């Protein structure tokens, strides 16, 4: 299949690229700069420089790639949360999820994409006894910084992908990432997931599972993951 991987040079993208490439998919991956593009070319896929906030350029890049599937793995968290102004990074990342996703969805429509798989988070649920299941409501009553994440980021991202008739929309709600390139070497948080296992879920979602939401985390934590295991045939212990 032809795949357009937005965020190919990011943390999950770096694990996802070899899975897609080795499966024989024809992959176009985006980077924010020429150095990242060159690295993607060296990994055996076609790299392009693209700005998720440039709707015209993004449509051009996606239409040229003519993909069957778009994978959205773009975030703005690589530099971590600033201690001086933690809300600034959170607002930037919410903008990626809100405006960037809308631009990528527009580009996917222009290219007649059949399926769209996007990264979300698994700690945006409204408070209740765990485990959280995919049908549980998001915490839209949150205030402060959490409201920025949920209402200005996650809700518009998921709505843009799921509440439309033009393609199959899949949302992967990842737990707290750990492993190479993340903020933590070992498991952390109430629903940890290794970065390779998260990438594997995105790889499988290209052609596995019905449209909708999937929790992606290690079993036994705050997220119920039986749907991902049964429908995507996902393995939480997967490592490259």
Q: What mean pLDDT comes out for the span 87-108?
A: 95
* pLDDT for residue 81: 45
Question: CA 115, CA 183: separation in Å to the nearest integer?
Answer: 30
Question: CA 75, CA 95: separation in Å to the nearest integer?
Answer: 9
Q: What mean pLDDT comes out for the span 153-163?
A: 98
Tens of pLDDT, residue by residue over 6-40, are 999 999 999 999 999 999 999 999 999 999 999 99
Both tokens of residue 28?
């176009």
pTM attached to this predicted model: 0.96
Tens of pLDDT, residue by residue over 119-156, are 999 999 999 999 999 999 999 999 999 999 999 999 99
Query: Looking at 7-11, 99-103, 168-172, 231-235, which range is the least confident one?
Result: 7-11
* pLDDT for residue 146: 96
Question: CA 141, CA 151: separation in Å to the nearest integer?
Answer: 9
């Amino acid at each position: 299949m032809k795949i357009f991987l937005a965020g190919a040079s990011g943390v999950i993208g770096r694990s996802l690229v070899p899975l897609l490439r080795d499966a024989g998919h024809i992959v176009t991956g985006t980077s924010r700069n020429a150095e990242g593009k060159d690295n993607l070319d060296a990994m055996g896929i076609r790299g392009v420089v693209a700005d998720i906030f440039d709707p015209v350029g993004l449509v051009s890049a996606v239409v040229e790639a003519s993909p069957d599937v778009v994978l959205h793995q773009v975030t703005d968290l690589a530099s971590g949360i600033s201690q001086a102004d933690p809300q600034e990074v959170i607002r930037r990342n919410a903008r990626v999820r809100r405006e960037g996703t809308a631009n990528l969805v527009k580009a996917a429509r222009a290219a007649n994409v059949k399926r769209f798989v996007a990264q979300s988070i698994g700690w945006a649920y409204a408070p209740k006894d765990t485990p959280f299941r995919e049908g549980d409501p998001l915490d839209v009553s949150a205030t402060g910084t959490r409201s920025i994440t949920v209402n200005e980021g996650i809700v518009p991202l998921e709505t843009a992908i799921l509440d439309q008739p033009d393609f199959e929309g899949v949302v992967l709600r990842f737990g707290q990432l750990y492993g190479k390139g993340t903020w933590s070497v070992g498991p952390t948080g109430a629903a940890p997931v290794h970065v390779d296992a998260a990438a594997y879920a995105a790889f499988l979602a290209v052609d596995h599972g019905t449209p909708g939401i999937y929790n992606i985390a290690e079993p036994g934590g705050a997220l119920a993951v039986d749907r991902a295991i049964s429908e995507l045939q996902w393995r939480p212990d997967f490592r490259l």
